[in-house]
Structure 1
Amino acid sequence: MYRVFEALDELVAIVEEARGIPPTRGCIVPRGDVLDLLDDVREALPTELDDAQDVLDHRDKLVGDARITAETTVTNATEQATDTLDKSRVEADRILAEAKDHADRMVAEASSHADALVEDAKADSNRTVEEAKREYETVTARARTEADRLVEAGKASYDRAVAEGQAERERLVEATEVVQAARVEAGNVVDAAHQEADRTRAECDAYVDAKLAEFEELLTGTLRSVGRGRQQLRPNAAADYRGSATGAYRTSAAGDYRAAAAADDAPERQATRRRSRHAE
């Protein structure tokens, strides 16, 4: 194989070094050298190239045979598929017809069963309605009876309550009249008590005034006697005695007057408090 490449290189060198033929692009090469190189190339080529050419020729034959076989196979497959499709269509039509018959039978059976169920349901519903009506009438009758009883009991309770209310109102009216009478009587008693208190106060005032007058006369006489005695005992202290006696008398008289005024005002204040409590 290496000799093939050397021979080819020498052929290229001969062609490149050959003399040209003007004005053409041709050249003059030595024929013997070129033929020798070509023989060397032919001899150097391996025998596998011939085998490869034989394989290529055989390949073309195999491809042709395969194409023919494929066409035959496709034709046979098409015919077989058509036959199978026809058979499948016939079988599908048969199965479809059987399915339709079966479906019709099932529909008929379902319709009959549904009709039977509807009839049973109607009978049950009618029976339930009748029972419900009877139960309704029974319950309604009991409810009406109970309602009438409750109404009567309510009326009786209402009448009792009204009677008791009227009696209580009359009792309260009577109690109110008694209270008013008691208030009038209490007012009369209070007025009488006030009058009695005023009378007693007047009597007390007169009694106290008389006693104070007597006490004043007694005190005046006593002071005069004491003054005369002291004057006789100490003539020089007469003036002092008269001044001190007069001041003591005035002080005692003022105290007695305030005590008497307080005693006079006390019953009046008590009466005022009693009137205010009575008014409340």
Structure 2
Amino acid sequence: MSMEDGHGPAEEKLARLRELIANARAMPMSASCVINRGDVLAAIDDVIEHLPGEIARAQGVIDESRAKVAEGEAEAGRILGEAREHATRLAQHSEVVRVAEELAAKIRADAEEEAAALRKETDTFIDSRMASFESVLHKTASQVKTARSRLAERSELDPKAEREAPMPS
């Protein structure tokens, strides 16, 4: 096994250690076995000795990959920013934008003119309705005054009391 197939020397050493234990002489009628203590300890020490270096190399590869990704993201951000600035400049100088702004100004002016006309038409309608209501009120007030005057003559009420009479709530 090697680094190319995804396994490093630590995996190879652990596999040899497993093989030592798996091939150890079995004890009769037991799950226990007899192993050479020196061989197993030497295999374990070999793994312990080389494992930190492999972990450090792997961490180095990870750190290098992260740095490359960050570098790529920064470059992509810079390119995207330049593209946005370029697109903005193109849009500002475009004839399409100029025509659209003129059209928008005309639409806005037309809408304001129409709103003013509608406001005037509405005010005219409300004024005519209020004038009609005022006429009805005046006519009604005149009829009430005439009725009170007749009532005063018939019942010989004091005309001064007529003016001081409390208004109903």
Shorter-chain-normalised TM-score: which range?
0.3 to 0.5
Instruction: State the TM-score, normalized to the length of structure 1.
Output: 0.28
With normalisation by structure 2, the TM-score equals 0.42
Which is higher, the Rg of structure 1 or of structure 2? 1
Select the structure that is richer in helix: 1
